[in-house]
A and B are shown apart, each in its own frame.
Chain A
């Protein structure tokens, strides 16, 4: 089944404790992206990747890192999480030129930073 998977689905952590949210897709998509969803703000793009070893900042990249060492994986790293990073995070992927085509979203990761 074609899908985007994220782990963990729920995470409660404390300020400053490094964490990684994994994202994997099995559709051989070149484009992958991370979004955060906050009430009243909709979805905002954190980082995106056009292909392996190619990443770029979205609209809200501060406090986040990403890597794209393999085509299928696009982990989101929070080196020193803070409470303002409490949010619902979605990974997405699409083929070809990315944003011009349908994006397939993962199930989301709800992160709480205390």
Chain B
């Protein structure tokens, strides 16, 4: 079955540290890829998305992600995290044969001042 894997379940960083969260997907065809963020007590909101073109995608709040087709990966990065980045991050990919969105299990990021 098609799947999305996020291997980092819980990441703890100090402010100004660099961040990379892993996301791997199982389908090798044409993909659209998303990163959503959920701040404490809030709903999910889109952080960034890849549809086609430049594999390095820039999103809001200084986040970026790189689509590497050969590795089936779409890792999320930020050069210098802030306390306000404390949140849960979800990678998602549309199902290739149905109209469903498949989410990873999420990565909880805690940033300490």
CB within 8 A of A33: which of B32, B42, B101? Answer: B101
Say yes or no: B43 contacts A43, CB within 8 Å. Answer: no
A43 to chain B: which residues have CB within 8 Å? 44, 90, 103, 106
Contact present for A45 and B106 (CB under 8 Å): no
Hey, which chain A residues are within 8 Å of B44, CB to CB?
43, 90, 92, 103, 105
When distances are taken between beta carbons in the complex, the residues of chain A under 8 Å from B9 are: 40
Closest to A56 in B: B99
The digit string for A40-80, where 1 denotes a CB below 8 A from any CB of B, is 11111100101000001011000000000000000000000
Main secondary structure of the interface of B (DSSP, over half): loop
Q: How far is the CA of A31 from the CA of B45 in the complex (A)?
A: 17
Which A residues are CB-close (under 8 A) to B106? 42-43
Q: State which size class the interface on B falls in.
A: 20 to 34
| Contact for A99 among B43, B51, B90, B99, CB less than 8 A | B99
**With A105-B44, A107-B42, A108-B43 in contact, is A100–B94 under 8 Å at CB?**
yes
State whether A106 and B43 are in contact (beta carbons under 8 Å apart), knowing that A42-B104, A45-B100 are contacts in the complex. Answer: yes
Known: A42-B103, A103-B44, A107-B42. 12 other contacts (CB 8 A): A33-B101, A35-B103, A40-B9, A42-B90, A43-B103, A48-B100, A58-B100, A90-B44, A97-B99, A103-B101, A105-B43, A106-B43
Chain B contacts to A: CB under 8 angstroms = 6, 9, 32, 34, 42-46, 49, 51, 90, 94-95, 98-106
